[in-house]
């Protein structure tokens, strides 16, 4: 299983991190190892190597069949599930790596850094993939709201782009970027992710 992640895919989030991604540029893609996968309802343990781990709530799509060089118009045939996930980021380490011009994959790819909710069927109506709302609540308070229609690169384009470089396999997960509102987590917090109004993700920080 590959965990494929897209960065800087919502304009307002890019602004809050001081980043820009001009229209027409290609997606920013990185990968997490399979050891980053955190199953729903399992606790997330704060690592001892970072003092600022932040949540990034994202729509996550599951690949349902083998594919290579997939055209965007056919991409929905290769997706068989959608849910809400959290891309945990060691923000202090990432900032240090960026200052030094170093790769920051380790700041994203540590164990348990990809929390994934329960998969739901992908909507099949015309335009449905660009009309999905999701959110994250922490201790009962909404901290992030997202809408797939705000993506700079929609999911069909992401499938097309990634499959140009590497074969997509059944069970691969595609994290599609986070909207504005990211923030730190601390021990004891209760995180709940919603796809539309259905809770699909539920776990605690330990």
pLDDT in tens, 98-126: 899 999 899 999 999 999 999 999 988 88
- Say if residues 130 and 149 touch (Cβ distance below 8 Å): yes
The string of pLDDT tens digits covering residues 35-90 is 999 999 999 999 999 999 999 999 999 999 999 999 999 999 999 999 999 999 99
Q: Residue 13 — very low, low, confident or very high, per pLDDT cuts 50/70/90?
A: confident
Q: Please state the pTM of the whole predicted model.
A: 0.95
Q: Residue 14 — very low, low, confident or very high, per pLDDT cuts 50/70/90?
A: low
Q: In angstroms, what CA-CA distances link 105 with 7, 90, 190? A: 12, 10, 26
Residue with tokens 């909207």: 179
Q: Whose CA is closest to 83, among 205, 192, 182? A: 192
pLDDT over threshold 70, residue 17: no
Q: Whose CA is closest to 44, among 177, 173, 186, 195? A: 186
> What was the pLDDT predicted at 16?
73
> What was the pLDDT predicted at 50?
98
What whole-number percentage of the chain has pLDDT above 90? 88
pLDDT over threshold 70, residue 91: yes
Q: Whose CA is closest to 199, among 63, 112, 190? A: 190
Q: Residue 22 — very low, low, confident or very high, per pLDDT cuts 50/70/90?
A: low
> What was the pLDDT predicted at 24?
61
């Amino acid at each position: 299983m590959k965990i494929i992640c897209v960065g800087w895919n919502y304009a307002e989030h890019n602004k809050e991190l001081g980043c820009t991604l001009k229209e027409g540029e290609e997606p920013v893609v990185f990968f997490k190892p399979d050891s980053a996968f955190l199953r729903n309802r399992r606790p997330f343990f704060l690592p001892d190597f970072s003092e600022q781990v932040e949540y990034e709530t994202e729509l996550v799509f599951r690949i349902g069949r083998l594919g290579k060089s997939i055209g965007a118009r056919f991409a929905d045939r290769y997706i068989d599930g959608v849910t809400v996930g959290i891309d945990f980021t060691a923000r202090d380490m990432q900032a240090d790596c960026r200052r030094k011009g170093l790769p920051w994959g380790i700041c994203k790819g540590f164990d348990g850094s990809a929390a994934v909710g329960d998969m739901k069927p992908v909507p099949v109506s015309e335009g449905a993939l660009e009309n999905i709302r999701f959110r994250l609540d922490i201790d009962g308070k909404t901290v992030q709201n997202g809408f797939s229609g705000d993506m700079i690169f929609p999911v069909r384009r992401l499938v097309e782009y990634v499959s140009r470089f590497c074969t997509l396999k059944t069970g691969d997960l595609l994290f599609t970027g986070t909207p504005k509102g990211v923030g730190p987590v601390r021990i004891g917090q209760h995180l709940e992710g919603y796809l539309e109004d259905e809770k699909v993700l539920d776990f605690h920080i330990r």
